[in-house]
Amino acid sequence: LGDMYLYGFGVEKSGKQAVFWLEKGVEKGYWRSLNALGDMYRLGEEVEEDGKKALSLYRKAEEMHSREALTSIGFMYYAGQGVDFDEGKAFSYFRKAAGAGDLDALFMMGRCYMEGSAVEKDDRKAADCFKETADRGYPMGMWALGQSYLHGIGVQRDEKKAVALYQKAAGMNLAAAYSALAQCYRYGAGVTEDKAAAVEMYKQAFALGQGLAADEIGTMYLVGNEILPNVAEAFRWYEKGAEMEEAASWYHLGICYAEGLGTEINRDKALEYLYRAYAAEYPGALEYITDNMQIRLQ
């Protein structure tokens, strides 16, 4: 019942009801309820984010031999959320959970190998982790292995294999895979270059919640060397990206307002969006404010 209320499966979505029923499950010692409620507090879903409360719930689920709890505790050490940042402990938890069959944990082991977090950087081992998750039907693993093949990281470069993996993950509604396919069609990597197909792939990624895809469409319309230029469409797509709190879109929307691209010049709105981009540490935002808006931020 808790999950049904949290995600609106067959009932009206209600965070309050989700917490109520999950707490009932916790009282009865159900490990699924412990994990689900822990996730809500860790991610701040329908409740105020509380890392310490999340960790306490995960610890109880860990005592019940929940591999999902091990992965979640690993995430907390990896992000320094509710506990002190400790990549060594994070990797240890990921490895233990992966050994119990958790694909999220195995994927995170791959990331650790790729980043050199707590272990020596090893692109081959990273690719091996991604491949194992991909072979077991994990869409993010398919995408990550596709990235490895596209760039020749840990494996021999093979753009066609990358595209095949992206297509498989996109078939499982992974936004990142649609965006990766868009890049392949845009630049002719592993497929015949097709700008119109690239736009359609970006639209699919956007529909699945990726704000950066909207920004990419906006830029294609604004620059106009890939598709017919249309500043009004560029502005519209930048607005869509900005609504999803995409820093790149804040930056580009600010420039549109500053220069009257697809809209009337509005200095106040330009500064508002450019400052948001600057606060999000988007490259170039500070320079544009300083050089073009003649304002120096302290």
- Give the CATH number, domain containing residue 222: 1.25.40.10
- pLDDT for res 276: 98
Residue 190 lies in a domain: no
Residue 264 lies in a domain: yes
Residue 34 lies in a domain: yes
In the predicted structure, residue 3 carries a pLDDT above the cut 60: no
- pLDDT for res 10: 56
- pLDDT for res 297: 72
* Mean pLDDT, all residues of the chain: 93
Q: What tens digit of pLDDT does each residue of 281-298 get? A: 999 999 999 999 988 775
* Of 98, 97, 128, 93, residue with least CA distance to 113: 128
Higher pLDDT, 7 or 81: 81
Residue 165 lies in a domain: no
- pLDDT for res 8: 58
3-class DSSP assignment, residue 245: coil
Residue 230 lies in a domain: yes
Interhelix angle 175-187/195-207, rounded to 10 degrees, is 170
Q: Report the number of distinct structural domains present in the chain.
A: 2
Q: Cα–Cα distance between 255 and 248 in angstroms, integer? A: 11
Q: Given 64, 88, 118, which residue is the final one in a domain?
A: 64
Q: Given 64, 80, 103, which residue is the final one in a domain?
A: 64
Residue 30 lies in a domain: yes
In the predicted structure, residue 123 carries a pLDDT above the cut 90: yes
| φ, ψ (nearest 5 deg) of residue 86 | -155, 95
* Of 153, 184, 158, residue with least CA distance to 170: 184
Residue 292 lies in a domain: yes
Q: Given 34, 64, 94, which residue is the final one in a domain?
A: 64
Residue 246 lies in a domain: yes
- pLDDT for res 162: 99
pLDDT band at 274; cut points 50, 70, 90: very high
- To 5 degrees, how large is the angle CA 7–CA 8–CA 13? 100
* Of 46, 8, 10, residue with least CA distance to 23: 46
Whole domain around residue 270: which residue ranges?
A: 214-298
Q: What tens digit of pLDDT does each residue of 226-251 get? A: 999 999 999 999 999 999 999 999 99
Q: What tens digit of pLDDT does each residue of 124-157 get? A: 999 999 999 999 999 999 999 999 999 999 999 9
